[in-house]
């Protein structure tokens, strides 16, 4: 474990931990070795892209995203390709998810919720004006930068499996069911702009109420509630907020309020600040052309890892809240989709202990180097719960273990983690302070 470690690199980028996963892509933390700048690296599998006949669509959307520079949209910097993968280099946003604030602090006051909603509508309006639709707006895609400003991630890239048919409408049902518009569920085709707006309405409701407008453990009941727009606003909402939510959560996309109408709404307009930014000029799209022509001379080189990733102070700080590294090592880190703990045990022993603790909970364990994927064979509210686990070497005799929800319901993940933590008590490194608290 003490021998020197070759970091995985893609071109000039040093690759770190996985920070997100989707059907077609994985997102890794990375660092530009020339400038030291942190970035998020989205990795697409070329074989899957070609198999689903998505190359043209992805190329078009990447080109459009390169042209978009908006303060409330995560920036796309460049695209690279290897023999088997497409790498999309994006802005790394450090402030966490907007919804962590609700989970940790409860519902927001109207002024605060309105400010975030205004920024969300600014982002959505701008991208729609460029012909780019998100189609999967949900909590995981709303990030905050270091200054507390909203940044929408995955615009134009999240719903890579979407296809537009001859009627000009999209037909793939996708997204988190609670945030999806009725016309998407009905599968008669839908307009990306009005569907995005419905999701914005659900998000506004959650910011103000602290809970979902449509929720049911039975999927068919949930679909019925969404299709009938069957929801009740909590009594603490102002009349203006209730009225706007009702106009957005209109089950008929033809009569649903438009963005232009929202911008004129009295509740929305209060303290509104129009975004200030410069349009991108002379954006170079040569990298996109090279990746999709698949010319070998432009292939980027990849170097693989075979040991737990050694984590440097730079990465530790970027993962913590501010500069307080203590937050990294809390076993209970609030209500999130990932958590971490440290251990002084050897990496192989940690893997063995996680296996021992996960199997009685009904999980299949798949191992690859110092990563584990735990799959629950029993389907939950949002399908099977999948948990990704990775071990990082922080120091020669200290490891950090990240346990992250890869798929499924967040509530189920937290329940699972509490059960798992019980089985790992003798693995987790406890400081003297922790021991004092136990006494």
Q: What per-residue confidence (pLDDT) applies to 325?
A: 41
Q: Which of 125-134, 242-251, 384-393 has the highest mean pLDDT?
A: 242-251
Does residue 304 sit within a domain?
no
State whether 196 and 110 are in the same domain. Answer: yes
Does residue 4 sit within a domain?
no
Does residue 292 sit within a domain?
no
pLDDT top residue among 119 and 388? 119
What is the 8-class DSSP label of residue 7?
Answer: P
Q: What per-residue confidence (pLDDT) applies to 326?
A: 41
State whether 243 and 318 are in the same domain. Answer: no
CATH code (residue 246) = 1.10.510.10
CATH code (residue 387) = 3.30.310.80
Which residue out of 136, 154, 196, 250 is catalytically annotated?
136
State whether 110 and 214 are in the same domain. Answer: yes
For the beta carbon of residue 145, count every other beta carbon within 10 angstroms: 17
State whether 119 and 249 are in the same domain. Answer: yes
Q: Which region among 169-183, 235-249, 250-264, 306-320 has the lowest average model confidence (pLDDT)?
A: 306-320
Does residue 371 sit within a domain?
yes
Separation between Cα atoms, residue 74 and residue 154, nearest integer Å: 7
State whether 180 and 75 are in the same domain. Answer: no
Q: What per-residue confidence (pLDDT) applies to 322?
A: 40
28 is in an annotated binding site: no
Q: What per-residue confidence (pLDDT) applies to 161?
A: 38
State whether 145 and 221 are in the same domain. Answer: yes
pLDDT band at 56 (very low <50, low <70, confident <90, very high): confident
- Give me the number of domains the chain comprises: 3
Tell me the pTM: 0.67
Reported as a single tens digit per residue, the pLDDT across 294-332 is 666 667 766 665 556 666 655 555 555 443 344 444 433
Separation between Cα atoms, residue 178 and residue 197, nearest integer Å: 14
Reported as a single tens digit per residue, the pLDDT across 380-390 is 544 567 888 88
Separation between Cα atoms, residue 289 and residue 76, nearest integer Å: 15
Which residue range forms the structural domain that includes residue 223?
Answer: 98-269
State whether 198 and 339 are in the same domain. Answer: no
State whether 262 and 321 are in the same domain. Answer: no
State whether 263 and 128 are in the same domain. Answer: yes
Does residue 125 sit within a domain?
yes
* Residue carrying structure tokens 């021992």: 356
Does residue 276 sit within a domain?
no
Based on the residue annotation, tell me whether 136 is a catalytic residue of this protein.
yes
Q: Which region among 45-59, 100-114, 263-277, 425-439 has the lowest average model confidence (pLDDT)?
A: 425-439
Separation between Cα atoms, residue 9 and residue 30, nearest integer Å: 9
Nearest alpha-carbon partner for 38 in 65, 13, 8: 13
Longest dimension (CA), the chain: 68
Does residue 343 sit within a domain?
yes
Q: How far is CA 256 from CA 135, 198, 328, in A?
A: 16, 8, 44
Q: Which of 76, 92, 108 is the last residue of a domain?
A: 92
Q: What per-residue confidence (pLDDT) applies to 6?
A: 55
CATH code (residue 14) = 3.30.200.20
Separation between Cα atoms, residue 52 and residue 172, nearest integer Å: 13
Q: What per-residue confidence (pLDDT) applies to 353?
A: 87
State whether 234 and 116 are in the same domain. Answer: yes
Q: Which of 49, 64, 92 is the last residue of a domain?
A: 92
| Burial class of 409 by CB neighbour count within 10 A (0 to 12, 13 to 18, 19+) | middle
State whether 111 and 130 are in the same domain. Answer: yes
Does residue 369 sit within a domain?
yes
State whether 232 and 155 are in the same domain. Answer: yes
Q: Which of 269, 295, 330 is the last residue of a domain?
A: 269
- In 137-239, at which residue ranges do the beta strands (DSSP E only) sit? 142-144, 150-152
Reported as a single tens digit per residue, the pLDDT across 332-378 is 344 456 777 888 888 888 888 888 888 888 888 888 878 888 887 66
């Amino acid at each position: 474990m003490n021998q020197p470690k070759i970091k995985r690199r893609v071109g000039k980028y040093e690759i770190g931990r996985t920070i997100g996963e989707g059907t077609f892509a994985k997102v890794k933390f990375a660092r530009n070795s020339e400038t030291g700048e942190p970035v998020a690296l989205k990795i697409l599998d070329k074989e899957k892209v070609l198999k689903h006949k998505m190359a043209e669509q992805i190329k078009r959307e990447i080109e459009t995203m390169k042209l978009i520079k908006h303060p409330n949209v995560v920036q796309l910097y460049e695209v690279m390709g290897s023999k088997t993968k497409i790498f999309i280099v994006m802005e790394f946003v450090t402030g966490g998810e907007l919804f962590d604030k609700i989970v940790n602090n409860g519902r927001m006051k109207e002024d605060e919720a309105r400010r975030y909603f205004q920024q969300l509508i600014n982002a959505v309006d701008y991208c729609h004006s460029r012909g780019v639709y998100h189609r999967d707006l949900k909590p995981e895609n709303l990030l905050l930068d270091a200054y507390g400003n909203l940044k929408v991630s995955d615009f134009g890239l999240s719903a890579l499996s979407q296809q537009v048919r001859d009627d000009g409408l999209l037909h793939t049902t996708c997204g988190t069911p609670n945030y999806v518009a009725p016309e998407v569920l009905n599968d008669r085709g839908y307009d990306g702009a009005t569907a995005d707006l419905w999701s914005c309405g659900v998000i506004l409701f959650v910011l103000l109420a602290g809970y979902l407008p449509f929720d049911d453990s039975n999927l068919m009941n949930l679909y019925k509630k969404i299709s009938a727009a069957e929801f009740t606003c909590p009594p603490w909402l102002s009349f203006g907020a209730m009225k706007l939510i009702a106009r957005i959560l209109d089950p008929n996309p033809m009569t649903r309020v438009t963005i232009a109408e929202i911008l004129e709404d009295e509740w929305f307009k209060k303290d509104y600040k129009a975004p200030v930014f410069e349009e991108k000029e002379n954006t170079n799209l040569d990298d996109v052309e090279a990746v999709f022509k698949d010319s070998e001379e432009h292939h980027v080189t990849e170097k693989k890892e075979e040991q737990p990733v050694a984590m440097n102070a730079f990465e530790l700080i970027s993962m913590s809240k501010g500069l307080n590294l203590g937050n990294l090592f809390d076993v209970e880190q609030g209500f999130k989709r990932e958590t971490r703990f440290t251990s002084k045990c050897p990496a192989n022993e940690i893997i063995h202990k996680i296996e021992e603790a996960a199997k009685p909970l009904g999980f299949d364990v798949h191992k690859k180097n110092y990563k584990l994927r735990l799959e629950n064979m029993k389907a939950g509210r949002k399908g099977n719960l999948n948990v990704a686990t990775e071990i990082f070497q922080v120091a020669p005799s200290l490891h950090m273990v990240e346990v992250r929800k890869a798929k499924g319901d967040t509530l189920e993940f937290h329940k699972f983690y509490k059960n798992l933590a019980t089985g790992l008590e003798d693995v987790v490194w406890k400081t003297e302070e922790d021991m004092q608290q136990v006494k």
